[in-house]
Amino acid sequence: MTDYAYQSAIETAAAVANGSVSSRDLVAAAYDRINRLDGPINAVVRRDEEAAYAAADAADAAVSARAALGPLHGVPITLKDSLQTKGLITTSGAPELADHVPIEDAAPVKAYRDAGAVIIAKTNLPIWAGDVQSYNDVYGTTSNPYDFGRSPGGSSGGSGASLAAGFTPIEIGSDIGGSIRNPAAMCGVVGHKPSYGLCSAKGQIPGLPGSLTQADIAVVGPMARTVADAKLGLDLLAGADDWHGHAWTVELPPARTTTTRDLRVAAWLDDAECPIGSEIGSMLEGVTTLLSEAGAKVDTEARPDFTFTKALATFDQLIGGALSGSWSNAEIEELAAASDPEGGFGTHHAAQRHRSWLSANERRLQMRRKWKTFFEDWDVCLMPVSPRAAIQHDHSEPMTSRIINVEGTERPYTDQMAWMGVIGVVYLPSTVVPVGLDSEGLPVGIQIVGPFLEDNTCLAVAQMIEDMTDGFVPPASFQ
């Protein structure tokens, strides 16, 4: 059988549809690959073999009957363990949920399943999806396929690692502080953080199972190895939620342009508030050079009319409010008393008064308007994902006392969230696409930020960059 491990979801679905391969054989091949290769990375943490083979057989029967087929028909996939999956233990890395078996699919899971995907397993993450590394007391630590001593990022680290290792062609991540974009960059794959509210996250953990709230800033979105697959994933996930579906439909505007000669690019590639390593900086600058040489208008000085510092402070305050529902009142008071205001992650804002939140929200709205004005002159803004490539495993506590090394300089651990947080807080879409490997063989990604609800423009520019570079490069141990 042809090796489909690194085929795209689109290619694999086409092969199933035309009879080149059966879904059952693909499922068997995926489990065989996981059995052989997952040990050092521990990306896949819970399997569903009986249900997967039954779904694969049904998919093959539909092909034989010449029934209508969905765009992921018969394609075996893994899914992040924060997404409730009917009949399959879903823990979000929390010991309290070690035996939790959902009775229905989360909305994003249903979207992929309705498109014909065959769910074979769940992938690892940090407890309650709350870190930029991926480890927990239920399933242990997930490692980066490019270097087992390093993190794959988080919180969708198992998703990124599963993609990079060839276990799945498409995944679903969740993102409040970069949890799609960070592991996409660390694992050399594509991740799209949708415009806030575009994709229903109902059934995502956290909140607790049964919660109906979609937290501020938080989104779900597609992860894949190709931009085309990420675009397909977004098309499947986008749409009105249960509250609005009886009256609203979603029709995203087309990309502003699909050719570089008509593209206007602002490049915000460094800032003193969160400095970027020189090698990553050079790689990102190389992307702007490629775009410019292909005819795009590129400006490395253009900025929206506010500072990075202001945007980051607003994110810090508002994410504190967004995360406050995860803690009890007693825990919030303890956090408010003990947290270092310089420690990040917004924990010291969990106990803020609503009046303070309203003030921060107004600052956000003012920045959203300035971004809107900015995008009258520019189609996208290119930005870093993180100051550095994948970090060594670091599980020291408390989390906020951790540091990262950026070319010999110690920086706060939370700097890994900064370039993503300033975009998430203003609800903008962002696509991360790989741009190459650094001198240590670690992936580097770039963040393509676009206007609100113009997700297709982000993806179109990501496609341009993918076409100009090597795109996804499989890790040596998994080729």
Q: Give tens-digit pLDDT for 381-409.
A: 999 999 999 999 999 998 889 999 999 99
Distance CA 411, CA 403 (A): 6
- Residue tagged active-site, from 151, 155, 174, 195: 155
Fold of 260-455+472-478: Amidase signature (AS) enzymes (3.90.1300)
In this structure, CATH architecture of domain 9-237: Alpha-Beta Complex (3.90)
DSSP annotation of 390 reads: P
**Domain spans of the chain?**
9-237, 260-455+472-478
- Alpha carbon distance 351, 354 (integer Å): 9
Q: Find the mean pLDDT for residues 80-99.
A: 97
CA dist 136 and 142 (Å) reads 9
DSSP 394-430: ---SSGGG-EEEETTEEEETTHHHHHHHHHHTTT--E
Sheet containing 430-437: give its strands across.
Answer: 170-175, 219-224, 190-193, 430-437, 443-449, 380-384, 264-267, 297-299
Weakest-pLDDT range from 155-159, 399-403, 439-443: 399-403
Please count the residues of the chain: 479
Per-residue model confidence (pLDDT) at position 339: 52
On the question of a common fold for 9-237 and 260-455+472-478, the answer reads: yes
Do strands 118-123 and 135-136 pair parallel, antiparallel, or not at all (unpaired)? Answer: unpaired
- DSSP at 70: -
Contact between 188 and 146 under an 8 Å Cβ cutoff? The reply is yes
pLDDT category at 330 given cuts 50, 70, 90 is confident
Residue with the bigger pLDDT between 213 and 476: it is 476
- According to DSSP, the β-strands at 140-141 and 135-136 are antiparallel
Q: Which of 80, 110, 202, 231 is flagged as catalytic?
A: 80
Does residue 336 surpass a pLDDT of 70? no
What share of the chain in percent tops pLDDT 70?
97
pLDDT at 120 over 50: yes
Residues 338-356: pLDDT tens digits?
Answer: 555 544 556 678 888 899 9
What pLDDT, on the 0 to 100 scale, is given for residue 355?
94
Catalytic residue among 22, 82, 179, 430: 179
Output the average pLDDT for the chain.
Answer: 95
Residue 26 near residue 56 (C-beta atoms within 8 A): yes
pLDDT band at 329 (very low <50, low <70, confident <90, very high): confident
pLDDT at 350: 81
Structure tokens at 335: 């956090």
The mean pLDDT value for 90-115 works out to: 97
What pLDDT sits at residue 351? 81
Alpha-carbon span 184 to 200, nearest angstrom: 21
Catalytic residue list contains 155: yes
pLDDT of residue 422: 98
Confidence band, pLDDT 50/70/90 cuts, at residue 250? very high
Residue 68 scores a pLDDT above 80? yes
> Which helix (H) or strand (E) covers residue 238, if one does?
none
Q: What letter does residue 345 receive in the DSSP assignment?
A: T
178-194 average pLDDT score? 98
Q: Give the pLDDT of residue 323.
A: 84
User: What is the CB-side half-sphere exposure of residue 183 using CA atoms within 13 A?
Assistant: 42
CA angle at 81 for the pair 77 and 85, rounded to the nearest 5°: 70
What is d(CA 181, CA 190) in angstroms, rounded to the nearest whole number?
8
Q: Is 92 known to be catalytic? A: no
Q: Residue 335: is its pLDDT beyond 70? A: no
Residues 135-139, mean pLDDT to the nearest whole number? 98
pLDDT band at 293 (very low <50, low <70, confident <90, very high): very high
Report pLDDT for 343.
Answer: 45
Is 231 noted as a catalytic residue in this protein?
Answer: no
Q: Residue 334: which pLDDT band, with cuts at 50, 70 and 90?
A: confident
Q: Which residue is listed with tokens 């085929």?
A: 7
- Residue 372 reports pLDDT greater than 50: yes
DSSP conformation class of 278: H
